[in-house]
Amino acid sequence: MGFPQWLDIYEEAWADERAPAGRSCPECGRAELGLAFVRPASSSSGVMAALWCGACLHGVFLGNCSEPESGRIWSRDEARRAGLVPNYTVIPPV
């Protein structure tokens, strides 16, 4: 359980934005994962990725990611306005 499993899911999702839909949460086992790429306001390098479980509200938050090949990159304001990313407990890297 924990960060490595989340990273596996993230790497799949990076290549195919629909991938999280078929994966279950490493914490609770439910298939309610969400993923969003957000461009930081103040940095020119990379994007941030939020990957979370909508059922137990755990997940990871990764900085300085490569931009995905497909899928939308949100600005922070857009993401906030859309209520895209819920408040979730961030699992720290190991």
In the complex, least distance from residue 82 CB atom to Zn ion, rounded to whole angstroms: 22
25 Cβ contact partners less than 8 Å away, ≥ 6 residues apart: 31, 32, 33, 53, 55, 56, 58
Of residues 6 through 35, those in contact with Zn ion by CB under 5 A are: 25, 27-28
Binding window for Zn ion (CB under 5 A); candidates: 7-15, 51-59, 61-69, 75-83? 51-59
70 and 17 in contact (C-beta within 8 Å)? yes
CA distance 88 to 24: 16
Binding mask 54-93 for Zn ion (x = CB under 5 A): -xx-------------------------------------
In the complex, least distance from residue 9 CB atom to Zn ion, rounded to whole angstroms: 11
Q: What is the dihedral of CA 25, 31, 36, 37, to 10 degrees?
A: 60
For position 47 contacting Zn ion by CB under 5 A, the verdict is no
Q: Which residues bind Zn ion (CB under 5 A)?
A: 25, 27-28, 53, 55-56
